[in-house]
Amino acid sequence: MLYALVQGWRLLRRSFGLAVLLLVVNLGLALLLAVPLAGVLRRDLHQMQASQNMMYGFDYPWWSQWSDAQSGWTTSFGPEIFGVGFVFRNLDLLLKGALPVNLFGARGDAGPPLDPVILGVGLIYLLVQTYLAGGILSTLRGVQGSWTVRGLLHGSGFYFGRLLRVALVALFGAWLVFRVDAPLA
């Protein structure tokens, strides 16, 4: 195992730009929702005492009022989506037999389902990561000295179909586990 770790670090050092590229892609995908949400929060917290409370902690009365007034994709954001609350909320949903983040609103007491905009961005993220995984595999298994964007994109396209099938089988397996667990929960 130590040999594999040493080899992994050696390959990472050889392909450091690849790690930076993947970080930029991940941040770019996260910005699809983060920038509009920041604008909404900036507008709604402007010149309010709650802005300081939210910066240094959490202002539940403001958030409750803000959350009730939201419509559209911003209704899905709350303490149960960010930070440690995500783990506790989803563990509670799993124990009740609902999918994580109440994906399809299967249980009445689990709350509203996620907005289609957020699910769409999540699907785009899943497809982009599946696509890039093939390029990462081809880059790391290659013996040449350095990687190129062209080589990354070629490997991504070459492996995409295979990795997409693996991802779909894994998602089907997760769905099956949740369906079997639902009556037991």
pLDDT in tens, the chain (185 residues): 899 888 878 877 777 888 888 899 999 988 988 898 889 888 888 888 888 888 887 778 888 888 888 887 787 777 767 666 677 777 777 776 666 555 555 555 555 566 677 778 888 999 999 999 988 888 877 766 678 888 889 989 999 999 999 999 998 888 788 777 766 66
> Is the Cβ–Cβ distance between 164 and 130 less than 8 Å?
yes
Q: Is 79 left (phi over 0), alpha (psi -120 to 50) or beta?
A: alpha
On whether the CB atoms of residues 77 and 37 are closer than 8 A, the answer is yes
Q: How far apart are CA 5 and CA 164, in angstroms?
A: 27
Could you give the residue ranges of the DSSP H alpha helices within 15-148? 16-45, 49-56, 60-69, 84-96, 116-141
At 113 the pLDDT is: 61
Contact 160, 131 (CB under 8 A): yes
CA quadruple 100, 55, 26, 23: dihedral, nearest 10 = -130
Model pLDDT, residue 179? 76
The predicted pLDDT at position 160 comes to: 95
At 49 the pLDDT is: 82
8 Å CB contact between 127 and 105: no
